Amino acid sequence: MKHDLTRRAFLSALAASVAVPAVADAPLTSLRPVGRGEDIMRRSLPSVDALIAKARLDGRVGFAVANLASGEMLEELNGQAGLPPASVAKALTSSYALETLGPDHRFGTQVIMTGGLNQGVVTGDLVLAGGGDPTLDTNGLAELAAQLKEAGVREVRGRFLVWGGALPYTAAIDPDQPFQVGYNPAVCGLSLNYNRVHFEWRRTGSDYTVTMDARSDRYRPDVTMARMEIVNRAAPIYTYSDAGDRDEWTVARGALGSEGARWLPVRQPERYAGEVFQTFAGSQGIRLKAPEVVAERPEGRVVAYLESAPLNEILQDMLKWSTNLTAEMVGLATTTRRIGKVASLKESAEAMNAWAKESLGLTHVALVDHSGLGDDSRIAAADMMKVMLTVHDRLGLKPLLKSFDLRDSRRRVIPDHPIRVHAKTGTLNFVSGLAGFADLPDGTELAFAIFAANIPRRDQLSREERERPPGASDWNVRAKVLQQALIERWGTLYGA
C-alpha cells in the first residue's frame, strides 16, 4: 500500500500521537522558545525523557543535533558522555582515510618474480604480495593467475612465497567475540574474500558431507588450510584451534540439521590466499610449490598486478554493508601513510584518535579499532555529531552514506517520508548508534549522532552468548524506534 505522507499529514499525525499530560518532563536542554501563537504541534511534542521511557531502553542514551548551515547546537542529552559507537565508528575511519589517502587512492596486489624468466621458466622465487586491498576476492586471484600465463610464465623453479606484511597481523579484530563469527577475521596486508572461508554441510545417510572453499560467483576452489571436523557433543557449537599451517575447526553434530552453510573467519589469511592462487596457477598449467609465508617483502620484477576500485567506492560499500575488515585495513593503511608502520590495531586507532582531536577538534574520542567492533571503544555523541558537521563539505562524506529508512508503527518502510536521512548505523548486542544527516522538508539540514548502550548487560554475556543473546534483538529494535522518534521530533522543532 502506498503511504501518501505529505508534510502536513505527517505533522498532523505526529501531533495526534504525542499528546502528553501538562506535567510531563521538560526537555533536558533548552529548546528554541515557542511563542504564544506558534504551532500547537511544537507545544505538544513529547519530552526527550518521555520518548526514552516509551522505548523502554535500559542503559544510557546520548545524542546531539545541530543545524548544518550554522553549526548551532540545537539539542543534546549526555552529549559529552563516551559511549560505544559500534559501526558508526566507520564514518570516522572513512573521514580519516579520505583526508589522508584521498578519494582516488587504489590498493594493488602484485605477483613478483625474484629471478629471471628464461624460455618461460622463472629461475628464482614467485611471490604473491598483498598491498592492503580489502576487496581482493577469488575472481581477482584467478585474474592474476591468467596474467601470469600471459606474461609467459610456464614454470617456477624456486619457492612460492606469500607476503602480507604491508599491514600488521592481528589474529582477530576483537578477541572477545565468538570464534565462528565471520565479521571478526584476522587482519594483515593480504586478504581474500574478507578473510572468510565458506563452510557447507549436507547430510548423506547417517553422516555429513562437508566442504570448505573460497567461493565466488564464478569459482569454488576447495581449500585445505581450513579443516572442519564434526563431533558428537552438545556444546559448544564451534571450537577453533591454530594447527600451525591450518585452521582447525570442530562443530557439534546436533547443531547442523540436514544441510546448511555459513562463512567462517580465516585466521591465516596469507596461507589462504596463497593456496587459492596456487590452485588457479595450476589451472593455467603453472605448477607452484606449497605457499610459504615470509615476513619481508622480496624484491623483484612485477609480472602480474591487480588494482582495486578507488577508495571512495570502497568506502561507500563499507558504509553500506558495514564490513569490519575493510574498516580495519583502510584504517591501518591510512595510519601507515601518516606516521609509518604500527604494531597493532589499537596503536593505529590511537593515531586516528589523535588525528580526530587535532584535525576535527574532538575532545571525547577513544577508539580501540577502526570498525567499532571492540567493546572498549568510546566516543561522545557531541563529538560524533561534530564529525558530521566538519566533514560534510570538507570531505564529501554524505554521498557515501546509506539512506536510512524511516518506518511506520509496524516497522514497514515509509518510502515518501518527508524527512530524508543519510546515516551510518551501528549495532552490537545491547548497543545501537546512528549518525549522519537529516534533510527536512523546508530544506533545513541537520547533523546528528545518537548512541544507546547497556554496557553492564553486554558485559555479562559469555563468548558463546554473543552471537545471538536473548533479548538483544528486541532491545536493538527499540533503540531504532527511539532514533526515529528523535529525528521526527527534530523535524518538527527545527523545520520552518
138-161 pLDDT, tens digit each = 999 999 999 999 999 999 999 999
How many domains is the chain built from?
A: 2
Residue 400 inside a domain? The answer is: yes
Q: How far apart are CA 348 and CA 368, in angstroms?
A: 8
Q: How far apart are CA 316 and CA 308, in angstroms?
A: 14
> How many other CB atoms sit within 10 Å of the CB of residue 30?
9
Please say whether the beta carbons of 25 and 50 come within 8 A: yes
Of the candidates 475, 447, 340, the residue with the CA atom closest to the CA atom of residue 75:
447
User: Is a pLDDT exceeding 80 seen at residue 34?
Assistant: no
Residue 1 inside a domain? The answer is: no
Q: Are residues 242 and 327 in the same domain?
A: no
Phi, psi at 238, each rounded to 5°: -125, 150
Q: How far apart are CA 395 and CA 402, in angstroms?
A: 16
Q: Are residues 248 and 125 in the same domain?
A: yes
Using the CB atoms, write b or e for 78-97: b if 16+ within 10 Å: bbebbbbbbbbbbbbbbbbb
Q: How confident is the model at residue 35 (pLDDT cuts 50, 70, 90)?
A: very low
Q: Are residues 30 and 94 in the same domain?
A: yes
- For 224, the domain range is 108-307
Residue 76 inside a domain? The answer is: yes
User: Is a pLDDT exceeding 70 seen at residue 36?
Assistant: no
Phi, psi at 327, each rounded to 5°: -60, -45
Query: What is the longest distance spanned by two Cα atoms in the chain?
Result: 91
Q: Are residues 87 and 182 in the same domain?
A: no
Of the candidates 442, 417, 496, 492, the residue with the CA atom closest to the CA atom of residue 43:
492
Q: Are residues 197 and 302 in the same domain?
A: yes
User: Is a pLDDT exceeding 70 seen at residue 77?
Assistant: yes
Q: Are residues 301 and 410 in the same domain?
A: no
Q: How far apart are CA 449 and CA 286, in angstroms?
A: 54
Residue 476 inside a domain? The answer is: yes
Distances (CA, A) of 119 to 129, 152, 156, 161, 174: 24, 8, 11, 22, 49
Q: Are residues 73 and 129 in the same domain?
A: no
> How many other CB atoms sit within 10 Å of the CB of residue 5?
17
Distances (CA, A) of 233 to 195, 242, 386, 450, 467: 28, 21, 51, 43, 19
In CATH, what number is assigned to the domain containing residue 13? Answer: 3.40.710.10
Q: What is the dihedral of CA 332, 134, 238, 223, to 10 degrees?
A: -130
The predicted model scores a pTM of: 0.90
Q: Are residues 317 and 465 in the same domain?
A: yes
In CATH, what number is assigned to the domain containing residue 186? Answer: 3.50.80.20
Give the per-residue pLDDT at 495: 87
Q: Are residues 162 and 209 in the same domain?
A: yes
The pLDDT tens digits for 320-342 are: 999 999 999 999 999 999 999 99
Residue 147 inside a domain? The answer is: yes
Partnered with residue 222 across adjacent β-strands are 213
Residue 164 inside a domain? The answer is: yes
Using the CB atoms, write b or e for 178-190: b if 16+ within 10 Å: bbbbbbbbbbbbb
Q: How confident is the model at residue 40 (pLDDT cuts 50, 70, 90)?
A: low
The residue from 256, 285, 307 where one domain ends is: 307
Give the per-residue pLDDT at 28: 42
Q: How far apart are CA 329 and CA 441, in angstroms?
A: 38
The predicted model gives 201-219 an average pLDDT of 95
Give the per-residue pLDDT at 425: 97
The predicted model gives 185-210 an average pLDDT of 96
Q: Are residues 242 and 173 in the same domain?
A: yes
The residue from 307, 337, 365 where one domain ends is: 307
Give the per-residue pLDDT at 20: 32
Q: Are residues 44 and 27 in the same domain?
A: yes
The residue from 307, 322, 341 where one domain ends is: 307
Residue 2 inside a domain? The answer is: no
Q: What percent of the chain has pLDDT over 90?
A: 85
Q: Are residues 278 and 417 in the same domain?
A: no
Q: Between 24 and 422, name the one with better pLDDT.
A: 422
User: Is a pLDDT exceeding 80 seen at residue 427?
Assistant: yes
Q: Which range (53-57, 214-218, 377-381) has the least confidence?
A: 53-57
